[in-house]
Structure 1
């Protein structure tokens, strides 16, 4: 078995909670090098997870001849730069979502990807992952009849406390246009229903300034709430609410058809089916539950010499949705979503 030597750039929450534990379970994977914005955190990660080296800069990870593939786990503002740097040095690249700061950056990354045979892959959304194969099976079998409306509600209270410090996900210089769950759910919508053709969006920032770094207050640059009304290219309508400024809501995705409605929950392994005959809980069969195998999927793609899934093209498609939402909020009008063939 070919040993794949991993370099990690960004040893934060997602790397520690998912990617590093996943990589440690795989045979033929070596944790070779790590870098983080703070060098002391890189040293801690090296000691805790057994990396061979800890570097002060991410460029050193990309330049290390002992590294075959790089996991990019930084905020989006560095994704394009690090990806380009790594590919130019012959490294396979796994990039954390969201793919890029905006659609133009995503298209540049896609062009880079198309110019190389190196393996690239984006982190998939965990939301609705468990039920996805079964839900798509039910849709393909016509359980709901003609799909006429998709209703998405993603409320949370993460930004409801005005005293809470500014989070990096509220900073446009780090996040770009990636507000709330817009991009992650744009990815799910694309995969399940195809692209949204046109949309209208409104954004609201309920708390406009927050404390930052004990140095006074900073402006909140991304909205606390986003509402979207759109139409899929295949015909169904979309309504979506994304909010970080409310309490007590339940995130869910409901698919309304001519024969029934199917409701899904982000982390659940069951669905609710409502028809004229009543409501029924559908537990996903054990062999149809999609578990988190992201790290294994990337390593297998590297060994097989192919692109990973989700691909950079998939990322460009959800960035087109996110860009349209941002453009509609900015202009106050209905926007056509860029087509990514």
Structure 2
């Protein structure tokens, strides 16, 4: 490997522009050397604005480039498996956007290929490094809240649909809507903070309420088609039974007649965390509830400051893992575990029954 870990960006959309490229460039041993997108104009613009000299329009060409050590895959979900597997077989390390794949079968092949080829496969679970998530995870592991009774995660967007007809809203390209876009993050955050307990059963419901009516348009997405297909969910609710008896509820929406909201509650038999910036404010968003000699008490934990932002931790540790000096934030195996739950949620919703795992 060269002194610098040379990364190629596959997909020149918003996440590449605002996430992948600046994140990788912050690493002292990370460099972005090529961009690939089927849209030549967009690829050229992204490359030019970031001082990148090499541009491809076919992903097969960028993974064949011997001057590239690793890639990031920021493509529609339908392409994650094919491109990632090919890149791994070409000897490249891969950071893939979430969700890992469209199906569990695809995800299993991706993970197996990474292990076989001896390459790093990371998933962009960018919320894991957040200070409040890391704090809750550490305290749960210490036994601070005791045995888990109940946990809840909510990610509510008042108007967050990324276009009507963008790849996000076309099931053939995305595999699903709000559940796969933001539900994957909330589900992962809650289970990660709990220490990834075993899930024994799941019941899910999904709906398309506002998307089909062309309501709830958001500001995300670089190709926000306004008059195309919307055949995915914009609301999802999951109910998980943990093997140890605890219950977990996850609710997410792309659009709803309510204020934007993000909330995580982790409740045990000795204490409970409530992360609720909507109520408590962004400066001190976390509360810990417990008892002191039988009297209820509330404390405000002091959270560490993450200098470069939580999202950039993903890219730093991706480069570290490639260089053998650290571990990724979320591995292919981690992504596969969440994908199993997402697939079970859709199965439960379609069959209107609880799915045992």
When normalised by structure 1's length, the TM-score is: 0.88
- Taking the TM superposition and a 5 Å limit, the aligned residue runs for 1:205-224 are 205-207=208-210, 209=212, 213=225, 218=229, 220-224=230-234
Matched, 1:75 2:76: yes
8 Å contact 1:131–1:290 — kept in the other structure? no
Could you tell me how far apart the structure 2 residues matched to 1:306 and 1:5 are? 17
Could you tell me how far apart the structure 1 residues matched to 2:200 and 2:269 are? 22
8 Å contact 1:9–1:70 — kept in the other structure? yes
**CA deviation map 1:106-155 (0-9, x unaligned):** 11111112211122211123267221222122223332232200122221
Distance change >3 Å, CA 81–CA 306, structure 1 → 2: farther
8 Å contact 2:176–2:233 — kept in the other structure? no
Alignment partner of 1:138: what SS? Answer: helix
* Structure 1: runs of 5 or more not aligned: none
Alignment partner of 1:283: what SS? Answer: coil
Matched, 1:229 2:239: yes
- Taking the TM superposition and a 5 Å limit, the aligned residue runs for 1:185-196 are 185-193=186-194, 194-196=197-199
Could you tell me how far apart the structure 2 residues matched to 1:113 and 1:178 are? 27
Q: CA RMSD in A?
A: 2.7
Structure 1 residue 237: Cα displacement: 0.7
Distance change >3 Å, CA 50–CA 265, structure 1 → 2: farther
8 Å contact 2:166–2:225 — kept in the other structure? no
Alignment partner of 1:277: what SS? Answer: strand
Distance change >3 Å, CA 195–CA 62, structure 1 → 2: same
* Structure 2: runs of 5 or more not aligned: 215-223
Equivalent residue for 2:270? 259
2:201 to 198, 204, 211: 198
1:248 to 259, 270, 276: 259
Distance change >3 Å, CA 293–CA 252, structure 1 → 2: same
When normalised by structure 2's length, the TM-score is: 0.84
Quick check: 278-287 or 19-28, which moved more? 278-287
**Count of matched residue positions in the alignment of Structure 1 and Structure 2:** 333
1:273 to 285, 288, 295: 288
Distance change >3 Å, CA 35–CA 128, structure 1 → 2: closer
Structure 1 residue 254: Cα displacement: 0.4
8 Å contact 2:202–2:345 — kept in the other structure? yes
Could you tell me how far apart the structure 1 residues matched to 2:211 and 2:4 are? 49
